[in-house]
Structure 1
Amino acid sequence: MDYGTLDESSRQTAMKKGEAELSERHKLALELADHIMAYHGQLPDEMYTRLTEHFTREEIIALFFQIGSKNGANWFIIAMGIESK
């Protein structure tokens, strides 16, 4: 299964340029991450439907896992007062 790759450098470059260099899958994955973070995991049916058009069930689970684990790690870092250097 090819999940494609989008490292942080690629995301930052695409976001800075404001160009449509990202695939629809990547754009939707980023939209999902932003939505999950902003609405504390609440996902409208419309967004889930769009996810199923671009990702398999397993890929959707993997996306949620990655978003959740990164979010949890971030809250831990904030709570512990850990600064990145």
Structure 2
Amino acid sequence: MDYGTLDESSRQAAMKKENKAELSAREKLALELADHIMAYHGQLPDELYNRLKQHFSKEEIIALFFQIGSKNGANWFIIAMGIVNE
């Protein structure tokens, strides 16, 4: 099984889902951050970080990174151990 990075068009297509819930600008930005960190293995452009600073405090940004990183680490552990929901 290949767990490599999706090409940009495949990643964008995978992220497009019909969602009836309205998200705030902060929620959309947090989701964009999570998507970007997962797709680009933690590489964060200055432009995205600057937008984060406009909407989140330093402590909130640290909390977002911690949550995204811990979830990502847990997922890689599950994959490595061959643990799957059936």
**Which stretches in structure 2 are left out of the alignment for 5+ residues?**
1-15
Greater relative contact order (Cα < 8 A, sep 6+): 2
Runs of 4+ aligned residues of structure 1 deviating over 2 Å after TM superposition are 15-20
TM-score (norm 1): 0.77
| TM-score for both structures, normalised by structure 2 | 0.77
Is residue 2:61 matched to residue 1:25?
no
C-alpha distance in 2 between matches for 1:52 and 1:20: 25
Matched residue pairs, number? 71
* Uncovered stretches (5+) of structure 1, i.e. residues with no partner: 1-14
How far 1:16 moved relative to its partner?
4.8
Matches within 5 A, 1:1-85: 16-19=17-20, 21-85=22-86
Identity, % of aligned pairs? 79
